[in-house]
Structures are given as C-alpha cells and as structure tokens.
Structure 1
C-alpha cells in the first residue's frame, strides 16, 4: 500500500508546524524538509488537506508572502498538484494523469476541465516558479507532467519541485 496524503510547499521563516493556514486544518506534519531559499516541504498523512487546497493555499500565501503549492498523493499512484500565487491565482494539474483519471472515473465532473493538460500545466507551473523568484526548467516540467510510468508518484512530485527550482 502506498502513501495517501498531502505535501505542502511554501517559503517561510516560520515552521510549517506554526503556520495557521496549515495547523487549522491538520494535526501535524510527519516529515519535514528544508530547502535553500527558505523553502519547506511538509508531508501530512490522510485526506484532510486535499479538499482544502484552494482556500488553504491562498491563506498560506497571504501568511507567508510567497507562492504556495500542494500535492495530494493517492496511494503513491498519482499526485493532484495545486499552486497559488497572488498574481497567477490558483491552478490545478496532476502527475501520472492516466492513474488520476482512473481515480476520478466515477465523478460526474469533466476531468480535463478540472486538471490542466501537460502543456498548460507546465506553463502554469513555470509562471508560478518565476513569481516565486525561482528559475524553472520548462522542458523538464513538461516532461514531468507528461510522465505516466512511475513506481511511486511521490518521485514525480519531488522531480517537479526540482524543476520548479525549489
């Protein structure tokens, strides 16, 4: 059985455990990674943060003063990625798209309308990164959003973070 839960990515001097936008929605981080430039990545088990994405991202961006990103992992098969920045607004895409579609096949919503296709997703992600003051790898982003074969979707998410410049 794979991981079910969310990754929260933000730039802040305040620890994720102390940011109101996160702690109001979850009991606590089970893994925490610091990256250069003040970036933090927290792993939160369970589904609590998945439905809170847009609201939490906007609140977290306001609280930290920087663009924010989440990745909701479903059984290590796929990742629903959401980003928010004050200029670019909210965007949503997925990694391992075929697996994501399989998880959503019983939904009554148009999957392609909910989740950006690979090329627009890569463009949105690159814009998000530039607004965050990062140097993205647009061809790498496109390849990651188009990738279908992965043993663990979390690996795709961390590849995405690298290609965003985090």
Structure 2
C-alpha cells in the first residue's frame, strides 16, 4: 500500500505547524523539510487537506504573503497538484495523468477540462514559480507532467518541486 496524503509547500518564517490555514484543517504534520529561501514542505497523512484544496491554498497564500502549493497523493499512484498565488490565482494539474484519470472515472466532471494536458500544466506551474520569485525549468516541468508511469508518484512530486526551483 502506498502513501495517501498531502504535501504542503509554502514560503514562511512561521513553521507549518504554526500556520492557521493548515492547523485548522489537520491534526498534525508527519514530516517537515526546510528548503533555501524560506520554503517549507510538510507531509500530512490522510485525506483531510485534499477535501479543501482551493480554500486552503487561498488562506495559506494570504497568511504567508507568498504563493502556496499542495500535492495530494493517492496511494503513491498519482498526485493532484494545486497552486495559488495572488497574481495568478488558482491552478491545478496532475502527475501520472492516466492514473489520475482512473481515480476520477466515477466523477461526473470532464477530466480533460479539470486537469490540463502536460504543456498547459507546465505553463501554469512555471508562471506560479516565477510569481514566487523562483527560476523554473520549463522543459523540465514538461518532462515531469508528461511522465506516464511512476512507482512512487510522491517522488515525481519532489522532481516537480526541483523543476519549479523550490
């Protein structure tokens, strides 16, 4: 059985477990990593954060004054990626597209309309990164969004963070 849970990515001097946007939605952080430039990555087990993506991101971006990103991992098969920034607003994409689509096959939504294809996803991610003051790798982002299979999709999420410049 793979990982089911969320990764929260933000830039803040306040630790993730002290940010109200996260604390009011989840009981506790499982793992916490600091990156250069004040970036933090927190791992949260379970589905709680996945159910509240856009409001969580908007609250987190408002509280930190910086763009925020969340990756929702489903059994290590796929990752639903959502980002928010003041200037760019909300965007979403997925990693390992076929696996993501399989998880959504019972939904009544149009999967292709909800989740952009790799080219559009890479453009949205690069725009988010630039607004966050990062230097993205557009070709690398496209490669990550185009991956068709992954043993552990959360590893692909960390490759995405690398290509974003986090």
TM-score interval for Structure 1 and Structure 2 normalised by the shorter chain? over 0.9
- Number of residue pairs aligned between Structure 1 and Structure 2: 166
Cα deviation, residue 148, structure 1: 1.0
SS in 1 for 2:139: helix
Matched residue, 2:10: 10
Cα deviation, residue 53, structure 1: 0.6
Matched residue, 1:125: 125
Deviation string 1:22-63 (CA, Å, 9 cap, x unpaired) is 000000100000000000000000000001110010000000
Cα deviation, residue 127, structure 1: 0.3
Cα deviation, residue 17, structure 1: 0.2
Matched residue, 2:115: 115
Matched residue, 2:83: 83
Q: TM-score, normalised by structure 1?
A: 0.99
Q: Unaligned stretches of 5+ in structure 1?
A: none
Q: Unaligned stretches of 5+ in structure 2?
A: none
Aligned-residue CA RMSD (Å) = 0.4
SS in 2 for 1:52: helix
Cα deviation, residue 150, structure 1: 1.0
Cα deviation, residue 149, structure 1: 1.7
